[in-house]
Amino acid sequence: MLLIRCPYCEEERPELEFRNAGEAHIARSANIAGESDDDFEKFFFIRSNPKGIIYERWRHIHGCARFFNAVRDTVTDKFVMTYKAGEPKPSKLPGAAK
């Protein structure tokens, strides 16, 4: 069981309190109704599924109930960092980013 740092609770908490919520930084268009088929396809269906660093959303559903963002390495299953929902994608990762 992993420990995940909740950026709202400001501490590491057991994975059982969390739920994964898919890839992060996929913005819903303010004018979604007018979006082209291609753009909607990219927004709704296409995910990066990388080997290595992934930016994803988690919810501390059985804790503070907040959604937040996390950077995780899909090879080692290690969390690199977490940050609050709405904050920009970090340009630099702590430690040696691959």
Partner 1 sequence: MSGAFRIPAAGRLKQAKTARFSFDGQSYAGIEGDTLASALLANGVHLVGRSFKYHRPRGILSAGAEEPNALVQIVRDEARKTPNVRATVQELYDGLSANSQNRWPSLAFDVGAVNDLASPMFSAGFYYKTFMWPKAAWKSLYEPKIREAAGLGVSPDRPDPDHYSSRYAHCDVLVLGGGAAGIAAALAAAETGVRVILADEQAAFGGSLRFESGARIDGQDGFAWAQAAVAKLAAMDNVRVLPRTTAFGYYAQNFVGLVERVSDHLKTPGHDLPRERLWQVRAKRVVLASGAIERHMVFANNDRPGVMLAGAARTFLNHYGVAVGRNVGVYTANDSAYAAAIDLKKAGVNVAAIVDLRDNPTGPVIDEARALGIEINFGRAVIRAGGKLRVSSMTVQPKNGGGERTIPVDAILMSAGWTPSVHLFSQSRGKVAFNDETRRFVPGTYAQDCVSVGACNGTDGLSATVDEAYAAGAKAAKDSGAKAAKGAKPKVDASESWSRGMLGAAPGAGPDTTVKAFVDFQNDVTAKDIRQAVHEGMRSIEHVKRFTTNGMATDQGKTSNMHGLAIAAETLGKPIPEVGLTTFRAPYTPVTFGSIVSHARGPLFDPTRRTAIHPWAEAQGAVFEDVGQWKRAWYFPKGGEDMHAAVDRECVDVRTKAGLFDASTLGKIEVVGPDAAKFMELLYTNPWEKLEPGRCRYGIMLREDGFIYDDGVVGRLAPDRFHVTTTTGGAPRVMNHMEDYLQTEFPHLNVWLTSITEQWAVIAVQGPKSRDIIAPLVDGIDMSDEALPHMSVREGKICGVPTRLFRMSFTGERGFEVNVPADYGQAVWEALWAEGQKHGATAYGTEAMHVLRAEKGYIIVGQDTDGTVTPDDAGLDWAVGKKKTDFVGIRGLKRPDLVAKGRKQLVGLKTKDPKVVLEEGAQIVEDPKQAIPMKMIGHVTSSYWSQNCGRSIALALIAGGRDRMGDTLYVPMPDGVIEVEVTGMVFFDETGGRLNG
Partner 2 sequence: MAKAAAKTTASPSAERRPALAGRSTSATGVKVDVLAPAERMSLRAPEASLAALSKALGVTLPKQPKTSATKGGRTVLWLGPDEWLVIDEAGNDPLADCAKVTALHSAVGISHRNIGISVAGPAAEATINSGCPQDLSLDAFPVGAASRTILGKVEIVLLRTGEEAFRVECWRSFSDYVFTFLSEGARDAAG
The Cα–Cα gap between 44 and 46 comes to 6
Please choose which of partner 1, partner 2, none residue 38 contacts, taking the beta carbon within 5 to 8 angstroms, the exact cut-off set by kind. Answer: none
Q: How many other CB atoms are there within 10 angstroms of residue 7's CB atom?
A: 19
Q: Is 86 left (phi over 0), alpha (psi -120 to 50) or beta?
A: left
Nearer to partner 1, 66 or 92 (CB): 66
State the nearest-atom distance from the C-beta of 57 to partner 2, in Å: 16
Point out which span in 27-35, 44-52, 61-69, 89-97 binds partner 2 (CB under 8 A).
Answer: 61-69
The Cα–Cα gap between 16 and 58 comes to 12
- Residues in the site for partner 2, rule: CB under 8 A? 1, 8-11, 13-14, 16-17, 62-66
